[in-house]
Structures are given as C-alpha cells and as structure tokens.
Amino acid sequence: MSQAITPPPATPAPVSVVDDRLSEVGFVTKLLRRPELGALLGALAVGIFFAVTAESFRTLSGMANWTDVASTLGIMAVVVALLMIGGEFDLSAGAMTGTSGLLLGLLTTEWGLSMWPGIVLTVAFAAAIGFTNGYMVMKTKLPSFIVTLATFFILQGVNLGFTKAITGTVRVAGLADVPGANSAEILFSSTFWEPHNFRISLIWWIAITIAATWVLSRTRLGNWIFAVGGDANAARNVGVPVQRVKILLFTITSTAAALVGIMIALRLGSIQAGQGIGEEFTYIIAAVVGGCLLTGGYGSAVGASIGALIVGMAFIGIQFSGWNTDWRFLFLGVILLMAVLVNNLVRSSAEGARR
Amino acid sequence: MSVQAGEERGATTNGATPLLEVRGVSKYFGNVIALKDVSCSVGAGQVTCVLGDNGAGKSTFIKILSGVHQHSEGEYLVEGEKVRFTSPRDARDRGIATVFQDLATVPLMSLWRNFFLGSEPTVGAGPLRRIDVKRAKRIMHEEMAKMGIDVRDADQPVGTLSGGERQAVSIARAVYFGAKVLILDEPTSALGVKQSGVVLKYIVQARERGLGVIFITHNPHHAFPVGDRFVVLNRGRLLGAWERDQISRDDLVQTMAGGTELDQLTQEIEQQIKRPAAPA
C-alpha cells in the first residue's frame, strides 16, 4: 500500500485545496475498506442460488418468509455487532430472548398483569441483566466470553426450572387473551402488505439498523465504540469513558433481546422454555459474516444485517428447496469459516505497514 | 566536563518563568527510592532532553510529570505556580500533554477519528447531535499541515501509517487541544533510523511553534541534535544537567553510558575478542 502521508522537505506544506488530495483515493480502495462488501457479495450469491433452486423463494410471499426469519435474527445481529465492535461478546443474548418472552408470559398469564405493564417490566428486567453482565465483565476484568457463558447457563436453567415449577409444562401459553394484547400485537407482531403478509419485525429490523448505523458513523458514542474495541488503553488515555461505553453496549444487547422475546411471545401467543438457546452463535455468525472482527474495533451494523439476511435466506431457501433443514448448520459453518478468512485479510491490510 | 547537580536551573536562559519546572523531586515506593532529588525545567520554545539508561528513573519521572504518580518530596511548578496533579486529565487541563510510546492511537480507526477521539466536535442537539465530520477533517488537515504533513486521505486507518507518522498524529492532536508542554516518552525507541529522524523534525517543529518539549530518550544521538538542555538520570538520581553550549556530543554519550564504566567495558571486550585472521 502506498504511503498517503509524506513529510515534505523543510517548509510546511500550504494549507490548500483538499479536493485534489481526496480524489487520489481510488474508488476500489474505498470500496474494499467497507466492512460489509464481502457480505453483500455473499448475499447476492446465496439469493441467486436459492432463487434458481426453489421457485417459491422468488415470490413476494417467499420473500416475506425469509425476511421474517432474517428480521428477528437481524435485530440481534446488529446489537451483537455493536458489542463486538466494542470488543466484547454476549453469549447470553439467545437465552435472554427466551427469558424475556417467558417472563412476559408469566407476568401476564400467571400473575395477573395486563400486557403493557408486563412489557415495561420485562424490558426493565432485561436491561438490568445486561447491565449486570457488563458490570461484572468490567469489574472482574475477565473475558466477557466466560462471564456471559455463565449468564447463559444460569438463564437456561432458570428458564426451564421456573417454567416447569410454575406452569407444570415447558411452555407458557395464553398471551393472546391478556388485556392489552391486541394493541401490543399491532406494534410487535402484526403483518402488513396483504396477501404476502410481511412481518412488522421487518420494519423494526430496518429501523434498528439505520439507528445503529447513525450512531456508529456519526455520533461521539459511535467513535467511542470503535475506540474501546480497537484499543481500550488508547481510548482511556484520551478520556473516553471505556467502562461506561461497554456496560451500555451490554445493556443495549439484552434490551434488544427482550424486544425479540416479546415479538416471538406475542406472535405465537405462547413461548417455549427452550426459546433462543443456541441462537447466540447465529447472531455472532451474522455479525462476523457482516465484517465484524472477533478482536473488536471494526465492523458495521449494515454488514451484520446483511449477514442476518444471508442466514435467513439460507434457512428458508433450504426448506423451500425441499432439502433436510439439518443442512443449515453445515451452511452456517461454511459461511462463518469463509467470512473469518476474508476478515483476516481485511485486518492485516488495515493494520499493515506497522513499523 | 562538570558533573554537578542542582544549580542554576531555576530559570530559563532568558530569565522568564519556565513553563514547567520541578525542584528537588523525589519519589518513594515504600522503601524503594525510585527518584531522588531531581530538578529540571523547560521554557516556551525549548527542548529539554531527559536521558538515562534502563532503570535510571525515566519512567517514574515521566509519570510524575504526566500526573500518573505524585511526587513524594520536592516541588512541581507549572508557569511558576505549584501544582499537584491527581490524574493525567488534571495535567492535560493545565496544558501538560504526554504522548505515550504505544498507547496513543487506535490502529483500526481512521486518521480524523483518532485525531478527535474523546473530544469530537459536534453539531445539532438531542438525538440529532452528531459529529461535525467536515469540520473535524478540515481541522485535522490544517493541524497536520502545520507539522509539515500533507494528509491526502483523512479516512486512512492510522495502523497503515508508519511509526513516525503516528507519533506526529499524537503530537498534532496534543498541540491542537491546547498543550503548552509536550512530554514525549521514548518516541524514537521503536523506530528505524529514518523514521527517528522524522520524529526529531516534529520535535523541532513543535519547539518552533513555541511549545516546551520534554523529550525522554535513552539515545544521546537522538537527543543531541534537538535539545536545548540535557538532563541525565542514573539510578534514580540526577547525574548532571547542561545547557547545549556546555557539553559536546561525545561527552553526552560518555556521561549517558556511565563514563568510566564504558571505557572499562570497552577494554574488557577488546581483550576478550580474538581478532579472526583476515579473510583471504
């Protein structure tokens, strides 16, 4: 890579024309510098592949199907991507969607709350769990991988244990009959565009992706998220509140998990105790496919969304093509491996030339 | 060659109040004496080089100056006023900026983001409050140009710059955010010969812009061309302090290396080496 900075001899360079300097960066270089480029090409390839193999995949109703899968996944992938850019993991994010849905179900069907107070309490509880995750990681200075792995198992146990103890089964049902359920359903689980029936979660997903992109690229918080993940010491040295930023990211992640849990619970009117278990890895895969580095400091929200779209297309595409759905795990593994290899190249070129 | 401590370093050469001055500063960690009775000063438009071998007390000294540690004895004055910093932020607010060797920039972030990290200029209010990217990039271009660097691409990741250029980004940033005194912690130690030269040029530029520079190094060859004053530490104590016209490069190297110790060492080595027969 050519050096873009050249110390000229003796006299300081004149402060002049910025434009001719900017134009020297080639279009290709700019494109390659985008973290989501690889994911975009991958999404095109996967989309075209399934459009060829399965006829129903090409239709609008088919699209409503795969965007539905991608949307709840995508909401989580975006917040998990923010957390990963900030240099941390949350393995409890999947189980947290189940915990939130179950809590909302128990609050409303067993303990007599109506829907909206139940939702408020559920979101507050989830935020508290996320804050605790972040606080523990910051105070113990342990890897977030291990701390949230513990949270994951605790939540998994609580989900199954409480649900069985209280309802006698492994599911909580009857949310549709709770007062206030109708208005909540409009916001969280309705459909639009008859007769294809796109899910409202698609709108949430797009809105959250736009908001996250705005935060990352245009706000101080976004700058700080990149910095705490890229080099926490350097960030601290210039006055970035590293701990507060990271704790906030953990809190956002679990709050988004509550949103997804509520969506799922309201959509089906019931929720399983095992909901969300294992999905934490799918979120991370989507984020990594979207260009997030596992080591932090680099990535994008749009990329994570494209990653989620790839996963959504593959899950539904495999089903529509009439293949056994177990193949989706093979697919996830392969795209993850490919993405990690591509990201490695990106990192070495971005961090290269260190002398 | 005079090796004497603690005289006539209270004032700068022109008699003005120095920007930064320490008088008889000591630092104890329990019963370990890390630094004992060290004095030095720097005025506007001057470079004071603090030299010393490993374990000489350079890093303790820099940590006191930058506010990481507090001195146990002695006085620390900024523009003639006694201070006692409790944090690096404290020191920075008084215009004392420290550029640490490797903890200054985030490699994966772009130049302009690094430049303003932690102090981003914003426009708008409420949820629309956002970084003023255009202004940030423009200021970064201007400030780098003042250091004699023509930045072509503000979006270039800092990690793709050479070590010397990254030091320049840190220095330019410190200057822009109001530093009066720059403390540079071994800025050349990890660099090659050419890159070291580039950093030395930045030091001279900062001096010409009226800053006081404290340049910490273990390399007298880097210190000599840029320094106005040389302070040599050895085993936590002040070995000596000289104005530029009071010492030659050779004397500085000798003092740095422990004078007679080095002579002895050279002789021992020469005795041990059996000169190989000249190649055919």
Q: Which residues of chain B have a CB within 8 Å of the CB of A216?
A: none
Residue A249 has pLDDT above 90, yes or no: yes
Whether A219 and B130 lie within 8 Å, measured CB to CB? yes
CA–CA separation, A62 and A58 (whole Å): 6
A18 lies in some domain? no
Among the listed ranges A18-27, B49-58, B217-226, which one has the minimum average pLDDT value? A18-27
Q: What is the CATH number of the domain that holds A312?
A: 1.10.3470
Predicted pLDDT of residue B258: 64
Contact A5 B155 (CB under 8 A): no
A45-to-A31, A40, A41, A96 alpha-carbon distances in Å: 18, 9, 6, 32
Q: pLDDT tens across A203-229, in order? A: 999 999 999 999 999 999 999 999 999
For B139, nearest residue in chain A (alpha carbons):
A15
- Going by pLDDT thresholds of 50, 70 and 90, the confidence category of residue A155 is very high
Q: What is the pLDDT of residue A30?
A: 67
CA distance B19 to B31: 32
Prediction pTM value:
0.83
Look at B156 and A18 and tell me if their CB atoms are within 8 Å.
no
pLDDT band at B148 (very low <50, low <70, confident <90, very high): confident
Spatial CA neighbour of B180 closest among B208, B212, B150: B212
Domain that holds residue A217: 37-345
What pLDDT band is residue B242 in, cutting at 50, 70 and 90? confident
Nearest CA in chain A to B121: A220
Angle at the Cα of A88 from the Cα atoms of A86 and A93, rounded to 5 degrees? 115
Contact A163, A170 (CB under 8 A): yes
A144 or B238, greater pLDDT: A144
Task: Average the pLDDT over B217-234 and give the result.
Answer: 89
Taking the alpha carbons of A84, B154, B181, B206 in that order, is the dihedral positive or negative? positive
Question: Cα(A259)–Cα(A246) distance, rounded to whole angstroms?
Answer: 20
Q: Is residue A75 part of a domain?
A: yes
Task: State pLDDT tens for residues A168-204.
Answer: 999 999 999 999 999 999 999 999 988 889 999 999 9
Q: Which residues of B30-57 are buried (b: 16+ CB within 10 A; e: fewer)?
A: eeebbbbbbbbbbbbbbbbbbbbeeebb
Who among B104, B117, B130 is closest to A240 (CB)? B117
Q: Is the pLDDT of residue A2 over 60?
A: no
Average pLDDT over every residue of A244-255: 97
Check residue A286 and give its pLDDT. Answer: 95
Q: Give the span between the Cα atoms of B221 and B182, in whole angstroms.
A: 20
B interface test, pick of A223, A233, A293, A354 with most B CB neighbours within 10 Å: A223
Please list the alpha-helical segments (H only) found in B72-219. Answer: 88-93, 111-116, 133-146, 163-176, 193-208
- Is B147 part of the contact surface with chain A (CB cutoff 8 Å)? yes
Mean pLDDT of chain B: 83
B200 touches chain A (CB under 8 A): no
Residues 6+ apart with CB under 8 A from A70: A205, A308, A309, A311, A312, A313
Q: Is B87 on the interface with A (CB under 8 A)?
A: no
Inside any domain, residue A24? no
Residue A343: the pLDDT is 80
The predicted structure's pLDDT at residue A25 = 57
Sorted by where each begins, the domain ranges of chain B are 20-106+178-271
Q: Does the CB of A8 have a partner CB in chain B at under 8 Å? A: yes
Q: Are B241 and B5 within 8 A, CB to CB?
A: yes
Is some CB atom of chain A closer than 8 A to the CB atom of B165?
yes
- What is the Cα–Cα distance from B105 to B168, expressed in whole angstroms? 11
Most confident of A151-160, B38-47, B184-193: A151-160
Both tokens of B46, joined, read 């001057």
Residue (of B203, B186, B183) closest to B66 by Cα position: B183
Calculate the CA dihedral of residues A197, A199, A202, A208 and round it to 10 degrees.
150
Question: Would you call B107 and A227 a contact, using CB atoms and an 8 Å cutoff?
Answer: no
| A3 interaction partners in chain B (CB closer than 8 Å) | 161-162
Chain A partners of B89 at a C-beta cutoff of 8 Å? 239
On the question of pLDDT at B4 being above 60, the answer is no
Least confident among A312-321, A342-351, B172-181, B193-202 = A342-351
Instruction: Please provide the DSSP assignment of A280-339 as one string.
Output: HHHHHHHHHHTT--TTSS---HHHHHHHHHHHHHHHHHHHHTT--TTHHHHHHHHHHHHH
- pLDDT at position B103 is 63
* pLDDT value, residue B172: 87
Which of B105, B156, B195 has the CB atom closest to A4's CB atom? B156
- Report pLDDT for A42: 87
Does residue B215 contact residue B33 with C-beta atoms inside 8 Å?
A: no
Handedness of CA A248, A254, A260, A265 (dihedral sign): negative
The pLDDT of residue A118 is 96
Q: For chain A, first and last CA: distance in Å?
A: 14
Examine the pLDDT at B209 and tell me if it is beyond 80: yes
Q: Chain A contact for B120, CB < 8 A?
A: yes
Q: Residue B154's pLDDT is what?
A: 87
Q: How far is CA A110 from CA A107, A114, A177, A254, in A?
A: 6, 11, 12, 24
Torsion angles phi and psi, residue A61, rounded to 5: -65, -35
Q: Peptide bond preceding A195: is omega within 30 degrees of 0, i.e. cis?
A: yes
* pLDDT, tens only, B78-131: 998 899 988 877 888 888 988 877 667 898 899 999 999 988 999 998 888 999
Distance separating alpha carbons of residues B227 and B204, to the nearest angstrom = 9
Residue-wise pLDDT for A46-88, tens only, equals 999 999 999 899 999 999 999 999 999 999 999 999 999 999 9
**pLDDT digits over A112-134, tens only?**
999 999 999 999 999 999 999 99
Judge contact between A201 and A263, C-beta under 8 A.
yes
Q: State residue B9's pLDDT score.
A: 41
Partner B, chain A 209-238, Cβ-Cβ below 8 Å: 214, 218-220, 222-224, 226-227, 230-231, 233-235, 237-238
- Residue B275, pLDDT > 70, answer no
The count of structural domains within chain A is 1
Residue pair A300/A81 in contact (Cβ under 8 Å)? The answer is yes
Indicate the average pLDDT of chain A.
88
Q: What is the pLDDT of residue A158?
A: 96
Pairing of strands A171-173, A270-272: antiparallel
Q: What is the pLDDT of residues A265-316, one digit of tens each?
A: 999 999 999 999 999 999 999 999 998 988 899 999 999 999 999 999 999 9
What pairs with residue B36 in β-bridges? B237
Interatomic CA distance for residues B26 and B22, integer angstroms: 10
**What average pLDDT does this structure show over B251-260?**
73
B104 and A353 within 8 Å at the Cβ level: the answer is no
Tokens for B37, please give them. Answer: 């009775």
Angle, helices B133-146 vs B163-176, to 10°: value is 110
Is A352 a domain residue? Answer: no
With H, G, I as helix, E, B as strand and everything else as coil, classify residue A217. helix
Contacting residues of A for B150, CB less than 8 Å apart: 5-6, 8, 13, 21
Strand B229-234 with B237-243, pairing: antiparallel
pLDDT for A350 equals: 63
Overall average pLDDT of the B49-53 stretch: 88
Domain with residues B20-106+178-271, CATH architecture: 3-Layer(aba) Sandwich (3.40)
Q: How far apart are the first and last CA of chain B?
A: 45
Minimal Cβ distance to B131: which of A6, A21, A220: A220
How many angstroms away from the CA of B202 is the closest CA of chain A?
A: 10
Beta strands in chain A (DSSP E): 5-6, 171-173, 191-192, 198-199, 270-272
pLDDT above 70 covers what percent of chain B? 89
Enumerate the residues of chain B whose CB falls inside 8 A of the CB of residue A349. Answer: 160
Q: From the CA of A4, how many Å to the nearest CA of chain B?
A: 6
Judged against a pLDDT cut of 80, whether residue A156 lies above it is answered with yes
- Residue B114, beta-bridge partner list: none
A74 part of a folded domain: yes
Q: Is the pLDDT of residue B56 over 80?
A: yes
Question: How confident is the model at residue A7, as a pLDDT?
Answer: 45
Other residues' Cβ atoms within 10 Å of the Cβ of residue B84: 10
Contact call for residues A90 and A256 (beta carbons, < 8 A): no
Residue A15: pLDDT over 80:
no
pLDDT above 60: residue B11: no
